[in-house]
Amino acid sequence: MPADAAARISALRQSIAEHNRRYYLEDSPSISDAEFDALFAELQRLEEQHPQLRTADSPTQRVGAPPAHAFAPLAHRVPMLSLNNAFDEDEVRAFDRRARDKLDVDQITYFCEPKFDGLAINLVYENGWFKRGATRGDGYRGEDVSANLRTIRTLPLKLAAAPNLAPNLLEVRGEVLMLKKDFAALNRRHQENEGRAFVNARNAAAGALRQLDPKLTAARPLTFFAYGIGAAEGIGLPTTQCALLDLLASMQFPVAAQRERVVGVDSLLAYHSKMAAQRAELPFDIDGVVYKINDFAQQQALGYVSRAPRFAVAHKYPAEQAITKVLDIVVQVGRTGTLTPVAKLHPVFVGGVTVTKATLHNEDEVRRKDVRPGDTVIVRRAGDVIPEVVSVDITKRQDGREFVMPAACPVCGSKVERIAGEAASRCSGNLVCPAQRKQAILHFASRRAMDIEGLGEKLVDQLVATGAVKTPADLYALNMATLIALDRMAEKSAQNLIDAVGKSKTPSLPRFFHALGIFGVGEEVARILAQYFGNVDAFLAADWETLIEEKKAIQKENTKRTKSGAEKLPVPLPGVGKEIVESIGAFLSQAANREVITQLRDRGVRIDAHSSGRISQSEQALAGTTFVLTGTLPTLTREDVKARIIAAGGKVAGSVSHKTNFVVAGADAGSKLDLARELEVPILDEDTLLKIIGGEQSA
Ligand code: IVH
């Protein structure tokens, strides 16, 4: 039994080490946290049952020390120095030039490493075992945080070298840090429990390492990366930094995968750019890169100035996060009408630029982060992304009011709608909102809407900038004089535009509905609307709230009927969701939008479901729609109905199938009606059919 236990214990220890490596170093865990905890618990249980099998390097021995009252001071055998910084290319070139001059060489081989944004630590190994470790402190003596360091799962408790080959003494130096993913999780908990967030992973790591109770440190997962050594006795050392890191890696110390040996100063700068591009995706924070002369003999020849080596330099990146104050929260309206809350900030230098505002994305985000005017916040700007507010320090809150999304658009005063299930709030003044003007006009004129040839972005820019066009209706009031006054507009092109506008005056009903630019109303929905309403007046007269209620009630009823196997009822506006119906309702609730439609008609736009002329077959109201007739209709004969459907571009088939779009049913309908119900084909009566075809379809 103990033999079995010993084998299992050894397998568990190996497996735990492997999963730690995958999680912390490769960023690719293959088991869940719960599964990991189960392995760990099993090992603990076995070691309890067989105490003789417990060893000091078992992962269970990482948390054991009782809470301390304070950290004891610990002197470093070899001082822990710091690095000089370089902030730009010139400073890096100057560093390289000085080193080449002093060494009297043409070119230097360097070793490049990420500059980890964590805390410098010295680990002391005696005869192959981890004995103690300390923070950098003042460089000569730091604080003994051994008990906390033991909790770091990637920190070897025993050197991987064979015991008889282990050095009597080895000091390994590196950085303790918290991975971004662990920081995010910890910060979420911290914000919930304490109402405040850590500024960054570095501060969180520092807090974790300075816990007097190692159990608390263990609950805030840290990791470690080695980048050098201090004192060493009884070990033959390599002659280059490159070989040293390979040696440390072979002893199971985590070392940066992003390390690189390069030649010449240009390669240093290339490394800096390459890491900058990777920075946002790295699993840990870096605040720069470090260049070290690779050869230790050359390092020694260069020596030190005051407390920093001449053979190494840190090439820094601008900080990605900063603390500042929210002056105000304003709402911006985008070109498609989306309202975005934006925090106006006290100017702060972050990510290499001065930032004065940061996006708060949407109403839910403001609520979630609870950002208020006057708050002290952490702002983040990484790479090219828009600056954003990460979190609020509510302990510094004065008296800021909670943010509420305005009910009216701050630009045009139209109603603000928030579509169910979506985070975005939108201005419903599509046709009249100055913020949406350009977009609305471009969309209105586009090829698949009103198709006004030659009305491109540059021209719309000018028309809007000069105030000649404020709404799509103004396009139909343009005259030669206004157009010729524009930049690069000759008489001929002005005339062409006027002709193109004139030609667009007889759109099909679906094109017209699409051109209005109502959120959610694309070509397909526009076609369904045209079929359902048949003309603009019916569309304008619709009671959208009732329609939503009706749709809801029928859908609910149909769900019941599906369960009981009963016939389903036809749904009004089939395929158009409640959200879109709400959006149309909001659009039409704005008198200003309706006014534009009236103006369009006043200025000669004739919207006609049947209009021939430039309307092709495929754009007719019933294009691509197949009907099946059954039963006797109240006023029309079968032949009549058939002729009307065909005139509107539709087809009439003899039998119901999945391809049937609608069944038109009258009195004494037969099996076709039953089949239509079974296949859930919408069923129309004569009245509705006529509406769809457009009885009085001209606008
Ligand atoms: S080498 C003589 N390599 O940067 C000092 N330091 O400003 C040798 N750091 O205190 C340090 N990543 O905490 C070195 N790859 C790296 C580093 C690194 C981060 C930190 C370290 C040090 C500080 C120096």
Per residue in 384-411, pLDDT (tens digit) is 778 999 889 888 888 889 999 999 999 9
CA of 419 to the centre of ligand 1 (A): 51
Q: Taking Cα atoms as reference points, which of 586, 570, 574, 583 lies closest to residue 528?
A: 574
Spell out the residues 6+ positions from residue 89 whose beta carbon is closer than 8 angstroms to its own.
Answer: 269
Provide the pLDDT for residue 310.
Answer: 96
CA–centroid distance, residue 107 to ligand 1 (Å): 24
Evaluate: CB of 86 within 6 angstroms of ligand 1: no
User: What is the set of active-site residues?
Assistant: 115
- What is the average pLDDT across 415-428? 90
Q: What's the pLDDT band for 200 if we cut at 50, 70, 90?
A: confident
C-alpha span between 20 and 15 (Å, rounded): 9
- The CA-based angle 44-47-49, given to 5 degrees, is 110
Q: Any alpha helices (H) in 392-456, and if so which ranges?
A: 437-445
Q: How far is Cα 179 from Cα 341, in angstroms, rounded to an integer?
A: 30
Listed in order, strand segments (DSSP E) in 234-375 are: 260-263, 286-293, 304-305, 308-309, 312-316, 321-333, 338-350, 353-359
* Predicted confidence (pLDDT) per residue in 663-678, tens digit: 999 988 888 899 888 8
Q: Which residue has a Cα nearest atom 14 of ligand 1?
A: 227
Cα angle: 477, vertex 479, 484; to 5 degrees: 140
Q: Residue-wise over 561-590: b if at least 16 C-beta within 10 A, else e?
A: eeeeeeebebbbbeebebbbbbbbbbbbeb
pLDDT band at 163 (very low <50, low <70, confident <90, very high): low
Any ligand 1 atom below 6 A from CB of 83: yes
Return d(Cα 484, Cα 405) in angstroms, integer. 43
Which residue CA neighbors atom 6 of ligand 1 most closely?
Answer: 115
| CA–centroid distance for 104 within its chain | 51
pLDDT beyond 80 at 191: no
Q: Is the CB of 82 under 6 A from ligand 1?
A: yes
CA of 115 to the centre of ligand 1 (A): 7
Mean of the per-residue pLDDT values of the chain: 90
Nearest to 256 by CA among 279, 276, 227: 227
User: How much is the pLDDT for 610?
Assistant: 47
- Ligand 1: residue of 116, 258, 261, 287 to mutate (most ligand atoms within 8 A of CB) is 116
Give the pairing of strands 376-380 and 353-359: unpaired
Does 115 contact ligand 1 (Cβ within 6 A)?
yes
Distance CA 301, CA 61 (A): 43
Pocket test for ligand 1, best of 85, 140, 290, 317 (most atoms within 8 A of CB): 290
Quick one: average pLDDT of 620-626? Answer: 78
Q: How far is CA 112 from CA 103, 283, 536, 584, in A?
A: 19, 18, 69, 59
Q: What's the pLDDT at 529?
A: 94
Quick check: 70 and 273 in contact, CB under 8 A?
no
Whole-angstrom Cα distance, residue 485 to residue 627?
53
Is residue 113 in contact with ligand 1, taking CB distance under 6 Å?
Answer: yes
Distance 197 CA to ligand 1 centre (A): 26
**Per-residue pLDDT, 593:** 96
Distance in Å, CA 307 to ligand 1 centroid: 13
Ligand 1 binding pocket mutation candidate from 117, 122, 224, 227 (most atoms within 8 A of CB) = 227
Closest Cα to atom 12, ligand 1: which residue? 115
CB 321 within 8 A of CB 379: yes
Tell me the average pLDDT across 238-252: 96
**C-alpha 138 to ligand 1 mean position (Å):** 14
pLDDT, tens only, 111-150: 999 999 999 999 999 999 999 999 999 899 999 999 999 9
Q: Is the dihedral of CA 224, 225, 231, 237 positive or negative?
A: positive
| Strand ranges, E, within 66-168 | 73-75, 85-86, 109-116, 119-126, 129-135, 141-143
